[in-house]
Amino acid sequence: MRYFIFALLFLFPTMLFAQREQAGLRIEQFGIASLSKPLVPLVDEARAGFSAQQAHLNFSFRTIIGEEGETIITNGLQYRFLKAIFDNVVFPNIYNLQVTYPYPREHEYHFLFYDFLMLHSLSDAYTLVSTLRPGIFSDFKTITRDHFRLEGAVFVDRQMSETFTLGLGIARSSNFGRVLLLPILHILYFGGSTFMLDVLLPSRAELWFYPTKSFEAGINLSLSGSQYAIGEANPLQANQFGFANATVSPIVRYNLFSKVYLSTEIGYTFVRRVELVNNRLEGEARFVQQFNPANIWFLRFGAQVMY
């Protein structure tokens, strides 16, 4: 069926790159975690801890092009606010500091980018997906061109059957807390009207069930993060902050009214990255500090408006 992929954007609640989501707000809270063998040992390491809060806002509008709707273009904006909180983190007498250095307790980071997505039907079986995300990833202090970055992805989906789609491609992303060039694997499988498996590695894997028209439940594995430029002078000479979490959680979503949904997740991290980087250096010397926070619980909740 030539436009199978595009029809799914309207018929199913969770889709590739959240294409059914017109606007959304999500709030995240990560609990206080101890630091597990930081790269550079800290003064009184047993008392040191790390926690974080995030808020993520997105909105978009969609245009369908062509006599048969063979191209879908989405234009949008995404903004994320991150507050990183370091408790009792004191650097020892290194880095030519001559004295111990208490790391400031709270740090705030932001990204704001234009979010462009295009889906184009190449044939009855193949669909081209491409994204571009130019924006600023920064602490918003002493902003230079190093605070701006282009991320994006391109891959091709093949409709293997009426229920199964497989895609491969490549992405430039900072989801790992570092800017990397990564392969993409996309899997989409529908179990009738009962469940859906939506996998976009290495970003996420979701299994959704639809017990009623207004209630949706599932299991979510996701990797979320970014790398932010540091414009504030610091004695460690760090100019990048990397933050990322791989999480697993049950997720529920409720249709409150019309096209408005509420969502909640309570889960646990299983891979974390919190690090300071001086990218003017080479190799392992770039990593001024890797804090290595222990895995911890998290809460994510929000509201979404669907197309």
Write the pLDDT tens digit of every residue in 180-234: 999 999 999 998 888 999 999 999 999 999 999 899 999 999 999 999 999 998 8
Instruction: Report how far residue 126's alpha carbon sits from residue 155's, in angstroms, rounded to the nearest whole number.
Output: 10
Domain ranges in the chain?
Answer: 4-306
Residue 69: what residue type?
G
Instruction: Report how far residue 297's alpha carbon sits from residue 50's, in angstroms, rounded to the nearest whole number.
Output: 13
CB-based contact 151:170 (threshold 8 Å): no
Report DSSP letters for 217-267, one per residue.
EEEEEEEEEEEEE--S--TT---EEEEEEEEEEEEEEEEEETTEEEEEEEE
Could you report how far apart the first and last alpha carbons of the chain are, in Å? 23
pTM, two decimal places: 0.90
pLDDT for 95 equals 63
Q: Mean pLDDT, consecutive 10-residue segments, the chain of 307 residues? A: 39 41 96 94 93 97 88 96 97 74 95 96 94 97 96 96 95 96 95 90 94 93 96 91 97 94 97 96 93 97 94
Q: Name the one residue in this structure whose structure tokens are 């980018």.
A: 113
CB-based contact 188:195 (threshold 8 Å): no
Ramachandran bin of 124, using left for φ above 0, alpha for ψ from -120 to 50, beta for the remaining angles = alpha
Instruction: Report how far residue 80's alpha carbon sits from residue 262's, in angstroms, rounded to the nearest whole number.
Output: 19
Where in the chain does DSSP place strands (E)? 21-34, 49-65, 71-87, 90-91, 101-102, 106-121, 126-138, 148-159, 164-173, 180-191, 195-201, 204-209, 215-229, 240-257, 260-277, 287-290, 297-306
Instruction: Report how far residue 42's alpha carbon sits from residue 29's, in angstroms, rounded to the nearest whole number.
Output: 25
CB-based contact 219:234 (threshold 8 Å): no
CB-based contact 146:175 (threshold 8 Å): no
Which CATH architecture does the domain made up of 4-306 adopt? Beta Barrel (2.40)
